[in-house]
Amino acid sequence: MRPPAYQQLADELRAEITSGRLQPGERLPPEPELCVKIGVSRSTVREALRLLASQHLIVTTRGVTGGSFVAHPDAGQLADGLSTGFALLTHSAAIGLADLLELRRALEIPAAGLAALRREDAHLTELRGTLFDPDIDDFDTMLAAHSAFHRAMAKATGNPLFELVGQPIYQVTYGEEVIGSLPDGYWLRIDADHRAIIDCLADRNAEGATRAAAAHLDYIAQTVR
């Protein structure tokens, strides 16, 4: 079965954008021109453009100078599109916690080293703002802070691809069986690890940062099952 006409048009325009033939900020042809070029109605064109806008690929403005323009990439928005599929996979029988931790090791250890070399003072401020108090804060607060820490670490690499790939990972929730198996002192250790990593970043100690990140993930792998 052929997809609807608006879907075909959206697919063609998406291919133009993702291939780089249409660059960020570049204006798409006006709606009447697309109607004639593709041979579809104006309502079909508008539906295709709405679909692309919902996928954060284009931005549409009104007025004399308005139109549809290729969006400038934003790691946070693009990551939203990955999150649903990632969540489905991680809650299926095909993907386990060991797979998730393996991916985290592949990303976070080199990211820590890059962050130590490239971080700016604003990144250190953001990272310190994610620290929690394991003696006072509740589980949900600490879990959210843990995710925020690693998203801030990805940002500190200066490479938006770490943010794009990392964000869905840190949105994965702990299952009840995992929560119930966390040992006493777990969050004290997580807090200490985060502080050790920040200290290495502050000193621009890339080797120390990678060691601290590896030790952090080793601890999680040994205790979260």
Same domain, 58 and 118: no
CATH number of the domain encompassing residue 132: 1.20.120.530
50 and 91 together in one domain? no
User: DSSP assignment, residue 68?
Assistant: E
Show which of 70, 93, 124 is a domain's final residue: 70
**What b-and-e string marks burial along 3-31, b requiring 16 or more CB atoms within 10 Å of the CB?**
eebbeebbeebbeebeeeebeeeeebeeb
Compare 160 and 198 and report the one with higher pLDDT: 198
Instruction: Evaluate if pTM is beyond 0.75.
Output: no
| 198: CB partners within 8 A, 6+ apart | 124, 127, 128, 131
Are 61 and 91 found together in one domain? no
Per-residue pLDDT tens digits for 8-64:
999 999 998 888 888 999 999 888 888 988 888 999 999 999 999 988 889 988 877
Query: Same domain for 88 and 157?
Result: yes
Please name the amino acid found at residue 12: E
Residue among 156, 166, 161, 76 nearest 112 (CA): 156
Quick one: 52 and 128 in the same domain? no
Do 80 and 173 have their domain in common?
yes
CATH number at residue 23: 1.10.10.10
Percent of the chain with pLDDT over 90: 48
Pair 149, 112 in one domain: yes
Structural domains in the chain (count): 2
Domain boundary among 50, 70, 90: 70
Query: What gap in Å lies between CA 16 and CA 22, rounded to an integer?
Result: 6
Residues 43 and 96 in one domain: no
92 and 58 fall within a common domain: no
What span, in angstroms and rounded, lies between the C-alpha atoms of 21 and 221?
44
pLDDT tens for residues 124-182? Answer: 999 999 999 999 999 889 989 999 999 999 999 999 889 888 877 777 655 555 666 78
pLDDT in tens, 75-108: 666 666 666 666 666 666 666 778 888 889 999 9
Q: What's the mean per-residue pLDDT of the chain?
A: 86
Domain interval for residue 110: 75-223
Mark which of 18, 40, 70 sits at the end of a domain. Answer: 70
DSSP collapsed to 3 states, 119-149: CCHHHHHHHHHCCCCCCCCCHHHHHHHHHHH
90 and 79 in contact (C-beta within 8 Å)? no
pLDDT score at 75: 63
